[in-house]
Amino acid sequence: MPRVPITMPQLGESIAEGTVVSILFEVGDEIDADTEILEVETQKATMGVTTICKGTLVEILIEEDETYPVGHVLGYLEATEEEMEAHGLDIEPKAKTNEGSDSDDEGTAASNDNEGAHFATDGESSDDVEASTDPQKLSPTVQGLPVPVSAAGASYISPRLRARMQDLDLSSADLSAVAGTGAAGRVTVHDLERFLNAIEQKQTIKASPMRVAVADSMRRSWSRPLATVGSPVALENLLKHRKAQDPKPGPALYALRALALALKDSPQYGGFLLGRRIILPATTDIGFAVEVPDGVMVPVLKNAADRTLAELTDDYGRLVEKARAKNLSAEEIAPGVATVTNFGSFGITWATPIPLPEQNLVLGLGAGTKRPVWDEESGTFKPVLEAELTLSFDHRVLDGGHAGRLLQRVAALMNTPEKL
């Protein structure tokens, strides 16, 4: 009976690998088509891998808590030819047995060497491939894969150190903790080994794929010249307006809607610098940060400038729940123009959040506090509930004046919530 491979799918446009969280079936189980056979955690969400046709699970080639690249064979189903034809699958010959000829054994071994790899080689060792300049010697086995976020690589790293870092699954950012003794302060292999020996006795925990993704995202973001401006915003009008709404939008949604309207009026502020061009946003898709275990997820509200606050409220609540369950679809976490983060929910009054690598802006909202504000009409100080608004931005795209005007526009809109 033909065997059907179960492969690691590409669970999103920028996903190159996934960590197996749980295997839901055992060898010998009968499984229907489109049944979730295992759960995989990527850097963005936890998703299920389903079977393409009905069959019997005859082999499992993976282990839980291990990470595998897109295209890796996870196991095999045994299915009837009729079932495969019904699902449009090609019927391939059965796997060769050990009774085959020597040449068959060699062919099988060569095939196994490339199984699950991003590139297939013509029987060469990895050293031979690395040294080869013939483009015909390397061919991708899975097309269009992005590089995994955990991949190591940096400038001014010796080949020997780079190889050692790859063995340890370390990136160049991890070297920031290592004091270098080489020329011009460069880190050597001996420096790295000395550092690792010093921390060997310390307690460690394994970083989740999402934690690794957040770390890589912030590392890439910090490679740009970032700046932050801030301004207080009064909350009395906003909170009064909120009491009359059903369902009640949160303060962060007011800020999100205000930012969307401000960017619709001045789309150049939401642009992204690429070389000598600023790429202007086509829509006002705005993301918002949701804390989840081991990281942050950023679902996106589509066309936020063209939908009223009331229209956005239900979608906002639904996306928050899906984010906390780490069950967002690829479309729901597609990069937006900017992000809003409500750090005030943690009692923080001021912060400098970092924009995502593919964005120019992140708007932060602090905790509300009572402050004395001078009232010209009465000639006295009056207590006013205010929160700090902060706007972090890529200084290559915006200057302080531009950012300040955008922030003042957002604050003005939040003070007139009936316009949202």
pLDDT in tens, 243-282: 999 999 999 999 999 999 999 999 999 998 888 888 888 8
Let me know whether 134 and 167 are in one domain: no
- Does the residue 154 lie in any domain? no
pLDDT at 16: 78
Residue 402 within any structural domain of the chain: yes
Shared domain check, 412 and 325: yes
Count up the domains in the chain and report the number: 3
Whole-prediction pTM: 0.62
The reply to whether 55 and 32 lie within a common domain is yes
| pLDDT (0 to 100) of residue 153 | 33
Among 180, 211, 242, the domain-final residue is 211
Do 235 and 125 lie in a common domain?
Answer: no
pLDDT at 18: 85
Q: Specify the pLDDT at position 198.
A: 83
| Same domain, residue pair 127 and 243 | no
In a domain, 374, yes or no: yes
The confidence score (pLDDT) of residue 134 equals 44
CATH code at position 118: 2.40.50.100
Low-confidence ranges of the chain (pLDDT < 70): 13-14, 43-44, 90-156, 184
User: Last residue of some domain: 106, 140, 174?
Assistant: 140
- Tell me the pLDDT tens digit for each residue of 320-341: 999 998 888 888 988 899 999 9
- The predicted pLDDT at position 184 comes to 65
CATH of the domain at 400: 3.30.559.10
Q: What is the pLDDT of residue 85?
A: 81
Task: Judge whether 151 lies within some domain.
Answer: no
Q: Which domain holds residue 380?
A: 226-419
Q: Are residues 206 and 231 in the same domain?
A: no
3-state SS record for the chain: CCEEEEECCCCCCCCCEEEEEEECCCCCCEECCCCEEEEEECCCCEEEEECCCCEEEEEECCCCCCEEECCCEEEEEECCHHHHHHCCCCCCCCCCCCCCCHHHHHHHHHHHHHCCCCEEECCCCHHHHHHCCCHHHEEECCCCCCCCCCCCCCCCCCHHHHHHHHHHCCCHHHHHHCCCCCHHHCCCHHHHHHHHHHCCCCCCCCCCHHHHHHHHHHHHHCCCCEEEEEEEEECHHHHHHHHCCCCCCCHHHHHHHHHHHHHHHCHHHHCEEECCEEECCCCCCEEECEEECCEEECCEECCHHHCCHHHHHHHHHHHHHHHHCCCCCCHHHCCCCEEEECHHHHCCCCCCCCCCCCCCEEEEECCCEEEEEEECCCCEEEEEEEEEEEEEEECCCCCHHHHHHHHHHHHHHHHCHHHC
Return the pLDDT at 110: 40
Domain contains 354: yes
Domain boundary among 83, 113, 140: 140
My answer on whether 93 and 182 are in the same domain is: no
- The pLDDT assigned to 272 comes to 85
- 217 falls within a domain: no
